[in-house]
Amino acid sequence: MPSRRSFLQATTLAPFLSLSTSQPPNTLIKPDRLRPGDTIGLLCPAAPAYSRETVQIAQESLQVLGFKTKLGPHIYNRYGYLAGRDADRVADLHAFFDDRSVKAVMAIHGGWGSARLLPLLDYNLIQRNPKTLIGYSDITALLLAIYAKTGLVTFHGPVASATFNAYTVDWFRRLLIEGETLTMRNPTEKGDNLTQTQNRITTIRPGLARGRLVGGNLTVLSHLIGSTYLPDWQNTILFVEDTHEEIYRMDRMLTHLKLAGILNQIAGFVFGKCSDCGTGSGGYGSLTLEDVLTEHIIPLDKPAYSGAMIGHISDKFTVPVGIDAEIDATAGTIRLLESAVS
C-alpha cells in the first residue's frame, strides 16, 4: 500500500511532470530539398520589420540564390515590440504551410514573440504540409516546438535579414539545396598570424558522441523548460548559442538545464558563440564563460566543445534540428549521419 508521502508526491507533482516530459516524434519528417525557382515565404513571427529596406534586401539576396519570395500579409504590422497581434503572426505562418507554392518559410529576424505563438499553432496542419522552416535566435521557440510536436526537421540557420556572405551561403546551399550529408567544421585560416587566432574551437571534454541534434538559442530554450514544447532529450547532441548576456545569466541558464535534468540526458554538447557576452556588473569578481562551461559540462563526462560557428555571427552554419549526428570534440566537428532533406 503506498505511503501518504508517495501518494502526495504522485498527486501534487503529476501535473508538472506531464508538462515537462515529452516523447520523441514517432516519425521523423524531412522537408524536400530546395530547388532553383522555389518560393520562400518571408514573415515576422516575433519583432516587427522596422525597415522596408531590410525586407527588400532580404528578398534580393534570396533572389540571387535563385528563389522567388512571398511576403506574409502581416509582415509590416506593428503591435508594440511585436510584429502585430499573435493571431495575425500565426495566420501568416499557417498560410505559408498551407500554400503549396511555398517550399520554405524563413523569418526576417528574431527579437521576441515566437514563444507566444506556440499554443496557437496548428501542428496537424504543419505535419500534413512539411517544408523547410529556418531561422535562429528567438525563432528557436518555433524550431523546437514544431520538431517536438510533429517530427519535422527544422533548421537553425540564417534569418532572411542575415548577411548572406560566401561562408553562410555555402553551408545553406550544401545542406538545403544539395542535400549533402556533410561535416561542419570551423574555418582554419591563420591570415598573417603564426597560428589561428579567430574562430578557434576549445575542447571541453574530448571524445566522440552520437545523437540527435537539438538546440538553439540558450535563453529561448531555457524559458521553454516545463512546457510541452521541448523534445525528448535522451541521447541528443545539445547545441546552444547566445548574445548580449552577462556571464552570470549564462551560468543561471545552464544551471536551469542541469536542475531540470536535461544535461544528464544528453550524449554530447556543442557551444557556439556568445556574441557580446561580457562580465557586466560582475566585474573583477565575475567568472568567465570558460569557467562556467568548465564547471557545468566537464562533470557530465561527455564529449563537448565550444566555438562552433553557430550564433549571432556573420559566418554561420545551418544546423538541422532532429537529425542524427556525430561530434568529435577534439577536432571540433559535427558530422551528419544522414541528409537533412529528402
pLDDT band at 7 (very low <50, low <70, confident <90, very high): very low
Cross-strand bridge partners of residue 270: 239, 305
- Classified by CATH at the fold level, domain 183-336 comes out as Glucose Oxidase; domain 1 (3.50.30)
The answer, yes or no, to whether residue 69 has pLDDT greater than 80, is yes
Residue in 61, 74, 114, 137 annotated catalytic: 137
Q: Which residues contact 278 (CB under 8 A, 6 or more apart)?
A: 246, 247
Cross-strand bridge partners of residue 94: none
The answer, yes or no, to whether residue 6 has pLDDT greater than 50, is no
Q: Which residues contact 18 (CB under 8 A, 6 or more apart)?
A: none
Q: Which whole number is the average pLDDT over 254-277?
A: 97
Residue in 74, 109, 156, 312 annotated catalytic: 312
Return the HEC string of the chain.
CCCHHHHHHHHHHHHHHHHHCCCCCCCCECCCCCCCCCEEEEECCCCCCCCHHHHHHHHHHHHHCCCEEEECCCCCCCECCECCCHHHHHHHHHHHHHCCCEEEEEECCCCCCHHHHHHHCCHHHHHHCCCEEEECHHHHHHHHHHHHHHCECEEECCCCCCCCCHHHHHHHHHHHHCCCCCEEECCCCCCCCCCCCCCCCEEEECCEEEEEEEEEEHHHHHCCCCCCCCCCCCCEEEEEEEECCCHHHHHHHHHHHHHCCHHHHCCEEEEEEEECCCCHHHHHHCCCHHHHHHHHHHHHCCCEEECCCCCCCCCCCCEEECCEEEEECCCCEEEECCCCCC
> Is 137 in the active site?
yes
pLDDT digits (tens, 9 = 90+) for 285-313: 789 999 999 999 999 999 999 999 999 99
> Is 241 in the active site?
yes
- Quote the CA–CA distance of 261 and 218 in Å, as a whole number: 15
pLDDT band at 280 (very low <50, low <70, confident <90, very high): low
pLDDT band at 25 (very low <50, low <70, confident <90, very high): low
Residue in 74, 109, 156, 241 annotated catalytic: 241
CATH-assigned architecture of domain 39-177: 3-Layer(aba) Sandwich (3.40)
Which pLDDT belongs to residue 50? Answer: 85
Which pLDDT belongs to residue 278? Answer: 79
Instruction: Spell out the domain ranges in the chain.
Output: 39-177, 183-336
The answer, yes or no, to whether residue 65 has pLDDT greater than 60, is yes
Task: Write out the three cell numbers for 247.
Answer: 556571464
Which pLDDT belongs to residue 282? Answer: 55
pLDDT digits (tens, 9 = 90+) for 145-191: 999 999 999 999 999 998 899 999 999 999 999 999 999 999 999 99
- Quote the CA–CA distance of 18 and 4 in Å, as a whole number: 21
Which pLDDT belongs to residue 211? Answer: 98
Strands 236-243 and 324-328: unpaired
